[in-house]
């Protein structure tokens, strides 16, 4: 209750109100700038640092998929071939899931014109082409183990090897090139965000320093010493209305009663 009464009793002057508003506005602008920088840093970590790690995992998973196809070509019997190829659907699903997870993030275009949406679509197209070629190779190998004659089996084996080498190899290279281009674009976009954050911090620092000096100068300018306070009107009036008292003159020792009339 006393605090409320104290606040109500305050009567700030106009200069105090102006300085308080300037300080509050400067603090609000600084908070907004720092909040934007904090958000950019979070985006850089969650969508670009982790995203780049996912892309690196995609490249490794594609190489693992390729090695699985080669192992299937070298299988000695049908049971071993089926055991090796059983992991292919899970590997393919993991690769596509990582691509979709990155594509669901906030994709951007860098200042240099590199586009994340275009590059992620190029990665998807190259992966689809490679998986299509790999599926054809697996179909040839599956038919090989169910062929009726040795000559037909040998023909299917040769087709699978040629298909994996002549078609699968170039498609694998296209996937690697598309991933490399996407990684370069991610680095370019992250650099733009870093530059924007650095510029925002510099602008905020300059604004804080300049605003502080301006407020300090304004405080000195508006807080000049006030003129001395005039005496209270009631006190002056009471002094004027007080009766005057006649004081005896020094050296006058005559008795008034002895004066002659």
Q: Which domains does the chain have, with CATH numbers?
A: 15-192+205-222 (1.20.120.230)
Contact by Cβ (8 Å): 93, 30: no
Q: To 10 degrees, the CA torsion angle through 99, 100, 104, 110?
A: 30
Q: What is the CA radius of gyration of the chain?
A: 45
Statement: the pTM of the whole predicted model exceeds 0.75: no
Task: Read off the pLDDT band of 101 (50, 70, 90).
Answer: confident
The answer on pLDDT for 86 being more than 90 is yes
d(CA 17, CA 107): 46
Contact by Cβ (8 Å): 186, 116: yes
The answer on pLDDT for 225 being more than 50 is no
The answer on pLDDT for 125 being more than 60 is yes
d(CA 60, CA 95): 10
């Amino acid at each position: 209750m006393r605090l409320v009464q104290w606040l109500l009793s305050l009567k700030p002057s106009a200069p105090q109100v102006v300085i308080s508003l300037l300080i509050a506005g400067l603090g609000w602008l600084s908070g907004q700038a720092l909040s934007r920088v904090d958000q950019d840093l979070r985006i850089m970590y969650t969508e670009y640092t982790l995203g780049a790690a996912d892309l690196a995992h995609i490249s490794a998973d594609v190489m693992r998929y390729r090695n699985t196809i080669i192992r299937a070509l070298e299988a000695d019997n049908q049971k071993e071939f089926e055991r090796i190829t059983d992991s292919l659907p899970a590997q393919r699903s993991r690769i596509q899931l990582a691509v979709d997870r990155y594509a669901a993030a906030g994709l951007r275009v860098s200042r240099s014109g590199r586009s994340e949406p275009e590059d992620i679509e190029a990665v998807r197209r190259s992966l689809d082409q490679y998986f299509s070629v790999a599926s054809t190779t697996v179909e040839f190998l599956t038919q090989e183990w169910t062929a009726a004659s040795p000559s037909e089996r040998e023909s299917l084996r040769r087709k699978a090897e040629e298909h994996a080498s002549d078609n699968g190899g170039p498609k694998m290279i296209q996937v690697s090139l598309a991933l490399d281009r996407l990684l370069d674009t991610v680095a370019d976009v992250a650099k733009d965000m870093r530059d924007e954050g650095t510029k925002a911090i510099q602008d905020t620092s300059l604004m804080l320093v300049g605003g502080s000096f301006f407020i300090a100068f304004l405080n000195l300018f508006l807080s000049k010493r006030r003129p001395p306070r005039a005496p209270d009107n009631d006190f002056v009036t009471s002094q004027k209305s007080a009766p005057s008292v006649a004081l005896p003159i020094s050296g006058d020792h005559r008795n008034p009663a002895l004066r002659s009339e």
